[in-house]
Amino acid sequence: MKSVALAIDETSPSGIAGAIARLISSGDLAPGDRLPTVRELAADLGVSPATVSHAWQALAGVGLIVSRGRSGSFVRAARTAWIPPRSRNLADQPLARLDLSTGTPDPLLLPDLGPALSRVSSRAGTASYLDSPVLPELETLLRASWPYEVEAVTVVDGAMDAISRSLDLVLRFGSRVVVETPGFPPVFDLLEHLGIERLPVELDERGIRPDSLAAALKLSPAAIVLQPRTHNPAGVSMTAERAEELARVIRSSRFAEDTVVIEDDHSGAISAVPEVSLGTFLPERVVHIRSFSKSHGPDLRIAAVGGPRALIDRLVARRLLGPGWTPRMLQRILYDLLTSANTIDQISDARRVYRGRQKALSDALAAHGYAATLPDGINLWMRVEDERAAVVQLAAAGIRVAAGTPFLTAPDGQFIRITAGLVRDDFDAVGALLAAAARA
């Protein structure tokens, strides 16, 4: 086991854990490999067994190793082959004192579904399999609140369902798609599954950089996938001025005459800024998606899609040959939630609380020497010295965060994503741990 010891330069618990994590990341330690025992490694390093034990606990806490009792500790093999590659690092991991890795809303800030459920008919049914896929009253409500005048609106089973079905309409063999970096890992996994080349574009504090988009458009992409608000993970919200500038870049590019823009407004109802869309300037080629998972409940699995009638009609026709429609019972629940004065107040309160939590955590980070721009939504994107070391060090302190690598199209610095919206108290203590991990 001397080879493992030789790879360890710093013999604190976090130093040992970080070195082992790097061996696993590089493939020098493969899934199933047996690690030295605590006493063996302690003897090789000249430290106490307790020091190595703390390192092992940190590695187990982030799911990198697993103990098998008397047989020893082993590099953990992935047990969730059905989960897309970039999401596996978040699966099958032990619970932490504070899990900030999920990207999910605080369940305590989701509206109470009880009243809406009580008002839904106890009988499920439909007059015809060819009825309109959207409840008329829900469509009227969605159109009235859409950020621009849209030709057609339908409802599907969540934001990723909407993105996938929209891409199906425009992609062909050899197509390219513009994506943000950092960006949403499931979108990257979807494009890889489809064999589609990604064209990454960079962000600044106002959204996609126009110069980066202009360069990507020279390769004639079939689509642009972007997040207009509460960007996951960057926390950026696009300004109206930037939206107009990006629309101008698209319209003026002779390589983008057929390019479709797909906007994923996944957390709009809890965003601190107004809704913005390129559809205001390019309604003929924008598909705008509004999800209610972060604001009203992830398990509702419902999102609205609006865009040119020619595209939306094709999307609806294809769904009729599969799931048919999103259950009208769910649509009635959503309609009730969107029109209930009590629920509207609850969502407004949640928006205010999330903003307050983000500010409190950003202030705590600043107090401990880490300058962070106040993000929109529930996520905080942090640059760190060593991504793996930061994740392991925080795990040792009982905090789980998401490694930044899955959110990047290519290696481009070290980052972690924190679901800041789940931090309810102890902001100074959490901020101190995060700031220290950033320097690890």
What does the pLDDT read at residue 222? 97
Total domains, the chain: 3
CATH number assigned to the domain comprising residue 243: 3.40.640.10
pLDDT at 355 over 80: yes
Say which residue, 57 or 266, is predicted with more confidence.
266
Average of per-residue pLDDT across 222-239: 97
Domain boundary among 273, 305, 337: 337
305 and 315 in contact (C-beta within 8 Å)?
Answer: yes
Chain center to CA of 280: 25
pLDDT range class, residue 1, cuts 50, 70, 90: very low
Q: Which CATH number do you get for residue 12?
A: 1.10.10.10
Confidence band of 438 (pLDDT split at 50, 70, 90): very high
Confidence check: pLDDT of 93 > 60 = no
Domain membership of residue 263 (yes or no) is yes
Q: What is the pLDDT of residue 90?
A: 58
What gap in Å lies between CA 378 and CA 351, rounded to an integer?
10
In this prediction, residues 8-36 reach a mean pLDDT of: 85
Which pLDDT does position 27 carry in this prediction? 75
Q: Report the pLDDT value the prediction gives residue 95, as an integer from 0 to 100.
A: 61
Burial of 365 from C-beta contacts in 10 A (0-12 / 13-18 / 19+): buried
Note whether residue 21 is domain-resident: yes
In a shared domain, residues 280 and 426: no
CATH code of residue 377: 3.90.1150.10
Statement: residue 45 has pLDDT above 50: yes
Q: How many angstroms separate the CA atoms of 50 and 68, rounded? A: 18
Query: Residue 433 corresponds to which amino acid?
Result: L
Question: Does residue 210 sit in helix, strand or coil?
Answer: helix
Considering 299, 317, 337, which residue would you say is the last residue of a domain? 337
Does 358 share its domain with 322?
A: no
Q: What is the mean pLDDT of the chain?
A: 91
Q: Report CA 411 to chain centroid distance, whole Å.
A: 18
Mean pLDDT for 392-401 is 89
150 band by pLDDT with thresholds 50, 70 and 90: very high
Cα(174)–Cα(343) distance, rounded to whole angstroms? 46
Same domain (yes/no): 273, 420: no
Domain membership of residue 63 (yes or no) is yes
Do residues 369 and 230 share a domain? Answer: no
Task: Give residue 319's domain range.
Answer: 128-337
Q: Are residues 93 and 218 in the same domain?
A: no
Of the pLDDT bands very low, low, confident and very high (cuts 50, 70, 90), residue 189 is very high
- Domain boundary among the residues 337, 370, 395 is at 337
Q: Are strands 73-75 and 260-265 parallel, antiparallel or unpaired?
A: unpaired
Q: Are residues 139 and 281 in the same domain?
A: yes
DSSP calls for 330-396 = HHHHHHHHHH-HHHHHHHHHHHHHHHHHHHHHHHHHHHTT------SSS-EEEE-S-HHHHHHHHHH
85 pLDDT above the threshold of 90: no
Q: Is residue 207 located within the same domain as residue 266?
A: yes
Cβ–Cβ < 8 Å for 243, 229:
no
Q: Is 113 helix (H, G, I), strand (E, B) or coil?
A: coil
Q: Which of 7-21, 208-222, 297-311, 368-382 has the lowest mean pLDDT?
A: 7-21
SS3 10: coil
Mean pLDDT is highest, among 9-18, 55-64, 373-382, for 373-382
CA nearest 304: which of 152, 180, 168, 184? Answer: 152
Q: How confident is the model at residue 166 (pLDDT cuts 50, 70, 90)?
A: very high
- On whether the CB atoms of residues 64 and 20 are closer than 8 A, the answer is yes
Same domain, 287 and 348: no
For residue 41, being part of any structural domain is answered with: yes
Residues 22, 138: one domain?
A: no
Please identify which residue in the block is written with the tokens 């690690």.
Answer: 35
Q: Which of 69, 38, 46, 116 is nearest to 331 (CA)?
A: 116
Distance from first CA to last CA of the chain, Å, rounded? 26
Q: Identify the pLDDT of residue 89.
A: 60
Shared domain for 273 and 204, answered yes or no, is yes
Same domain, 287 and 363: no
Share of the chain above pLDDT 90, in %: 71
> What would you report as the CA-atom Rg of the chain, rounded to the nearest whole angstrom?
24
Find the range with the poorest average confidence among 15-29, 43-57, 153-167, 251-265. Answer: 15-29
pLDDT digits (tens, 9 = 90+) for 313-329: 999 999 999 999 999 99
Segment 331-344, tens digit of pLDDT? 999 999 999 999 99
Whether the predicted pLDDT of 173 surpasses 90: no
Name residue, tokens 């969730």: 80
Provide the pairing of β-strand 98-99 with 152-156: unpaired
> Is residue 194 domain-resident?
yes
User: What is the model's pLDDT at position 114?
Assistant: 87
80 within domain boundaries: no
268, part of any domain: yes
Q: Worst-scoring range by mean pLDDT, 11-25, 99-113, 266-280, 424-438? A: 11-25
Give the mean model confidence (pLDDT) for residues 26-31: 81
pLDDT surpasses 50 at 71: yes
Q: How confident is the model at residue 308 (pLDDT cuts 50, 70, 90)?
A: very high
Highest-confidence segment of 63-67, 68-72, 317-321: 317-321
Tokens 């529930």 label which residue?
378
Task: Give the contacts of 195 (CB within 8 A, at least 6 positions apart).
Answer: none
User: Is 76 in contact with 31 (CB distance < 8 Å)?
Assistant: yes
Q: Kind of pairing, strands 286-291 and 260-265?
A: parallel
- Measured in whole angstroms, the distance separating CA 129 from the mean position of its chain's CA atoms is 35
Amino acid at 191: L
- Assess whether 187 and 275 both reside in one domain: yes
Phi then psi for 278, rounded to 5 degrees?
-65, -15
User: Is pLDDT at 395 greater than 50 in this prediction?
Assistant: yes
Residue 122 in any domain: the answer is no
